[in-house]
Amino acid sequence: MAAVVSLQNVVKSYTRGRQRVEVLHSLNLEVQSGEFLGLMGPSGSGKTTLLNLIGGLDKPDEGQITVAGERLDRLSGSQMAAWRARHVGFVFQFYNLLPVLSAERNVEVPLLLTKLSRAQRKTNVAAALALVGLSDRASHKPTELSGGQQQRVAIARALIADPTLLVCDEPTGDLDRESAEEILQLLTILNQKQGKTIVMVTHDPRAAAYASRLLHMDKGTLARDESRTAA
């Protein structure tokens, strides 16, 4: 399998006052096509920073990042935005849905920047909502949906442009156990049946158990790498 994500000697730091804090230290990583990778580690270990670099939300200070065949460290801001729209679907802990819009309109938002016709957008949105099991909630606004249903809408929105990679930051962190299991089962289906490559940050060992490979981060380095059969 080809590597969808490749990081070579990546260094990332931030400035706090007069102090430079190095968050990632010469980090190397490859994620293969169709892999479901889990990232765990204590707060401050660099998980979210790594996720942001993989998703093209940030750039490294040093090193090379290649995702979906593109050298992200060489892209301008506008080039990066266009690349993200084509290749990355984001799923966050708090859904980030627009409260005034229905589920179907929230899912449609990424398509408004494309050249698809209104009819094509409607067809694609219906297919995405069906994939996450929410066809009967298309006209409901976020306040009329449970937390689990809102996260399903967010996943449908992430999938709507058929991205190369799904990047999930604590996707079950705000959900009760039953809803969390449903979301994790959905991600597993997307990975195993749809072939989606997924990178997920989580603090929950039960969520991490769904990943086919688990990386443990500690102080900006990859401390341990586990491969196993997904749940």
Q: Strand, coil or helix: what is 178?
A: helix
Tokens describing residue 58 = 């940030």
Give this prediction's pTM. 0.89
Where helices occur in the chain by DSSP H, the ranges are 47-54, 77-87, 103-108, 118-131, 147-159, 177-192, 205-208
pLDDT digits (tens, 9 = 90+) for 113-133: 788 889 999 999 999 999 899
- Domains in the chain with CATH codes: 3-227 (3.40.50.300)
197-201 vs 165-169, strand pairing mode = parallel
The per-residue pLDDT of the chain, averaged, comes to 90
Tell me the per-residue pLDDT of 184-197, one tens digit each, with 9 for 90 and over.
999 999 999 889 99
Mean pLDDT of 25-54: 92
- C-alpha 184/C-alpha 174 separation (Å) is 13
Helix axes 147-159, 177-192, angle to 10 degrees: 20
SS3 content of the chain, % helix, strand, coil (to 5): 35, 30, 35
